Amino acid sequence: MNNTSDFSQSDSLLRDRIARFKDRIQTDEPRVRAWVWTISERKILEDASTRPVGETSPLGSTLFGVKDIIDVAGMPTRYGSRAYEHATVAPADAACVALLRQAGAIPVGKTVTAELAYAQPGLTRNPWNPEHTPGGSSSGSAAAVAAGMVPFALGTQTGGSVIRPAAYCGVVGFKASRGAVSMSGIKPVSESFDSLGWFTRSVRDAINIGRVLMEEDLCSYDFTGIPKLGVLTQVGPTTVDGESAEALSGVVQLLERSGIHPKWVQLPINTEQLHILQRKIMTHEMYRNFAYERLHAADRLGKLTLAAIREGQAVTTTEYVRSLNQLRLITARATDEIIRFDALLTYSAPGPAPKGHTHTGESSCNRVWSALGCPALHLPTGLSNNGLPIGVQLVAMPWSDLRLLEIGQQIERLINWRAQ
């Protein structure tokens, strides 16, 4: 894989970037449908001209996309829902967007999200095969990066909404530890699990973004030496297909040949129970957080969104509190095992992107890590027999985000695969 950063420090390339962005939008957007809103070339140039004078700009006027549940000043936030189809523009940036602007990056539009960042699919299609789902809920962000429209895009994850679309679209996807990046200015789905994430073409670029968005002490880690890795096939109530199993085994073999000897491990928890707890907590918080939508716009919500809200309504406060307490106990047991390793290698998804557009795919391989608050990284490894991307996932202890990314960059070099 070519690990040369997509980010240049020279503003002289800005017009070339804009031209490439416009060309990709013109040629690929009718097929991919990654965007709900894009700004003009004039506005991009205006934004570039208002960068803080004298400030270091590590992202160098890089253009990026923003999932449409994240506020961007001057752009409407419609949350992928007909309930907000006439939304006015946001008055201010979300915290993550403000930090990226300060670092020199320029948001060029809002990307498609599943409704309210849950499961009701938007219009986005998989760039590798439009008959297949791009995943969700951060579908537009993953597809926009995969199609080469922008070098990076922001997403969010509550269950599997970053890692799964990254896997289906064949790009690097990173989900930060819960709490590692401010969620201010982002519509909450489930405060117990929501985390920010981003999609890139290389781990190096994911690291550059992390150094802007995460606290300095999270970003000072420089991993060297041989990482202590575990391999985990314990994902919960799903069946992983043969190609995903082969992808994981192939990476293990690469690691062995390079002198890294992973240990096969199992978490001392019942992952199926964890899935149940995550679902109860998430849907109950959705019911509370989506009060406006269910009270005033229920007739404009999709069936999957309404079903989840009703499911959450049926979870009593007593059940909710009990589930939170059980989750804390399970998290303590799980982290006692995870802390023994620098990172764990596991599946990103049960298989390649499934065919169809009525769903966003299966998130069983991701929900455990969202529930535990762990950082997670998807690494593409190649293509399946039907020409769709496939890859593996790395996870680590909460608040070890940059260490995970540094290890991911080592493994990415061994894999040495990059979509053309």
Radius of gyration, alpha carbons of the chain: 20
Of 61, 81, 137, 244, the catalytic one is 137
142 touches 166 (CB < 8 A): yes
- The partner residues of 377 in beta bridges, in order of sequence, read 174, 394
Distance CA(218)–CA(206), nearest Å, equals 14
DSSP at 73? B
Verify whether residue 137 is a known catalytic residue: yes
Compute CA distances 327 → 179, 362, 365, 400, whole Å: 17, 22, 18, 20
Q: How far is CA 274 from the centre of its chain?
A: 21
Biggest alpha carbon distance in the chain? 59
78 touches 84 (CB < 8 A): yes
Encoding tokens for residue 414? 């061994």
Of 61, 138, 139, 161, the catalytic one is 161
Compute CA distances 54 → 104, 334, 396, whole Å: 11, 46, 37
Encoding tokens for residue 240? 């992983």
Q: Are strands 195-200 and 263-264 parallel, antiparallel or unpaired?
A: unpaired
Catalytic residue IDs: 67, 137, 161
